[in-house]
A and B are shown apart, each in its own frame.
Chain A
């Protein structure tokens, strides 16, 4: 344990440190997620000062701070929009490595992940394993000190620049499906890993397909025991969910900053009583979600957790689909057009398609409803016909 420090003293220390060290202009608009020499220098500075991992002990660059003090550190950084603090809560890759990696893996990866020297991506979903993630068919076979990996992954963002991918692959085909999976840090920069951009429904490319052919992964890069990968994945997914919730990206053009009310006014429909009912209903969806989130935050402060947290994603997908529908209906025939010369139409059409990013990605609405039903409301699970069957006998298609 480091010596205890009062909240006020800590706050003052962080503030003074930021004042002395943080030069936003030096980052030149780069975000934490676009690794540049400037961001790496900054993240290293944050790490060495103890702010990247304030909850962790000194041997992992931390200060052993209790949760509420770590939050103070995060809030001070957030107040000046400085990135990099509190990664011991928010950095999915570093946390997963710390929770399940052996000493060699931790020593090799954690610091680089925290400073942006090592870039990571996720190799989870496959063309045949979307909602049913435990149905993956990418195989990893142990040959000497290495696993040889073959298969195909999809929906991987950042695969082009990643040094390593967090991979789930099947190591045992005779175990039931959840029991035969192992978890790896797969080196991406090798001949057996081919990354191809995926053209999305919105006509953009933010995700990739990853084709893996006889790729090599050192045995030290396995997290957890062989066959225990599903449990490691659950931990990783929990970290991911805890920092998600921003929902889909915003529109391509600035036009969608125009409120629904302004759009109705511009379309000459603000006096249409039928449209006004629709407008009020759709505006309310977002407001109610904001109120729910505010109440959940207040509950958390008072020490009671709230089921509302798990509703956010499902609520957001309704908001995004409904707002896009209303934008389209207010535009009428103008929604036939797209492109930069028709930014309002372009945004309405883009938002209509991109809403599926939230209602499918990260667990479809239907899977979310199962999760809410089972984990929040305590309703029993559906029987799973493939649960206790050796995986090689499970139907695929």
Chain B
């Protein structure tokens, strides 16, 4: 079980919230999302100082050694504030993959650098299929003497254009394995992609005979473990984002006057708000329950975390898209403008509903986990 107390967890969450309020206002988000890097290196340094880049990395590699419960709370805050950052790619997905792969030598070097924020890593997991499943892996690895060479394509790779290190899932004759490649290695072509969610960075990566170093021997199972962690983090982002957009919308309904009344006094609006509150609360409950389940599974509980995680994955994705889409409608014309924040949340919600598996996929996995 998580070794932090409620007070400590509240303190972690409060410190992230305060950082977001100081350094990641809506104006900051709009500025950063238009830059090529897509993140603010000064804020990255603040994340490092708060220990967030090493939050789930073991203390022996310089991390805080915390788990999914604390991670989820942190992500509620970054999600609420629309933080544009490689945090999820490097410190959750890549760190989670390396931890699960358990290659001591690689971890000593790479996890320490990731925890210190000196290295940004990401994971190339899916090809053009964009499924984030074993089927979707479209890079192959062939042995060439004592070296390995990668060929093929990875797509929808988060923050690849920022990364120093790529962790690549690739097919070998003996199954899928994990390989480490420097982003600048010969034969690697990283093509940044235009994203609907401007706070996100995605790239396509083509590999042409790229020399790569295998990481551990655990292949796809390690990827599944990393996906579990990233889905919990993403669920936290979605729950936090949904809540923030919902609060903004309720505030607006109290102050916007039409027909001589606050629009929130109309049942047409009030009833939408009541329904959205169920979505927001359910998303928070689902995300936190998934974090708790993964935490317990990490401690060797027999309770499978699968059902809780896939439930959170689709429930939070659906809640976030429903809340943000309905929020635009409840605001009316003002939210049809670029200047209003509603579209930033709607874009992020729509993007996060596709990353690491779409809701329909998670519903399938949820049923399978229930034995159906």
Contact = CB atoms under 8 A, between A and B. Distances in A.
Interface in A364-389: 366, 368-370, 372-374, 376-383
A280 B253 contact: no
A258 to B, nearest CB: 13
Which 5 residue pairs spanning A and B have beta carbons closest together?
A373-B270, A280-B363, A379-B264, A291-B285, A369-B274
B133 interface: no
A379 B250 contact: yes
Contacts of A279: 367, 372
Most buried by A among B273, B281, B314, B364: B281
A376 B277 contact: yes
Given A291-B286, A379-B265, A382-B266, A270 B372 contact: yes
B281 A369 contact: no
A382 B167 CA distance: 57
A366 B277 contact: no
A307 B281 contact: yes
Given A284-B314, A379-B265, A369 B363 contact: no
Chain B interface size range: 35 or more
B277 A377 contact: yes
B314 A280 contact: yes
A315 interface: yes
A292 B285 contact: yes
A380 B277 contact: no
A273 B366 CA distance: 13
Contact of B274 (A261, A276, A294, A372): A372
A308 interface: yes
B275 to A, nearest CB: 7
Interface string A260-293: 0100110000100100110111011001110110
B264 A311 contact: no
A162 B254 CA distance: 46
B370 interface: yes
B194 interface: no
Interface string B280-300: 011011101100000000000
Interface in B339-372: 360, 363-364, 366-367, 370-372
Interface of B: 6, 250, 253-254, 261-262, 264-267, 269-271, 273-275, 277-278, 281-282, 284-286, 288-289, 311, 314-315, 360, 363-364, 366-367, 370-372
A279 B250 CA distance: 32
A23 interface: no
A308 B281 CA distance: 7
A369 B285 contact: no
Contacts of A378: 250, 254
A288 B372 CA distance: 19
A280 to B, nearest CB: 4
Interface in A224-241: none
Given A284-B311, A295-B284, A373-B274, 19 more contacts: A276-B363, A276-B367, A277-B360, A280-B363, A284-B314, A284-B363, A288-B282, A289-B282, A291-B285, A295-B288, A369-B270, A370-B271, A373-B270, A377-B250, A377-B264, A377-B274, A379-B254, A379-B273, A383-B265
Contacts of A287: 311
B278 A373 contact: no
Contacts of A379: 250, 253-254, 262, 264-265, 269-270, 273
Given A277-B360, A287-B311, A382 B265 contact: yes
Contact of A366 (B266, B267, B281, B372): B267
B372 A264 contact: yes
B261 A383 contact: yes
A293 to B, nearest CB: 9
Given A377-B250, A380-B265, A291 B270 contact: no
Contacts of B363: 276-277, 280-281, 284
Interface string A181-214: 0000000000000000000000000000000000
Contacts of A277: 360, 363-364
A289 B282 CA distance: 7
B367 A280 contact: yes
Contact of B277 (A270, A372, A374, A382): A372
A314 interface: yes
A8 interface: no
A26 interface: no
Contact of B267 (A261, A284, A289, A382): A382
Contacts of A103: none
A311 B273 CA distance: 12
Contacts of A308: 281, 285
Contacts of B274: 314, 368-370, 372-373, 377
Contact of A314 (B264, B269, B278, B314): B278
B29 to A, nearest CB: 26
Contacts of B261: 380, 383
A214 to B, nearest CB: 40
12 contacts: A261-B367, A265-B372, A291-B289, A308-B285, A314-B278, A366-B267, A369-B267, A370-B270, A370-B274, A379-B262, A382-B267, A383-B265
A284 B360 contact: no
A373 B271 contact: yes
A381 B270 CA distance: 9
Nearest to B250: A377
Contacts of A383: 261, 265
Contact of A288 (B6, B266, B315): B315
A25 interface: no
A295 B285 contact: yes
Contacts of A302: 6
A220 to B, nearest CB: 42
A378 B250 CA distance: 9
Contacts of A281: 363
Contacts of B269: 379
A383 B315 CA distance: 36
B270 A292 contact: no
B281 A380 contact: no
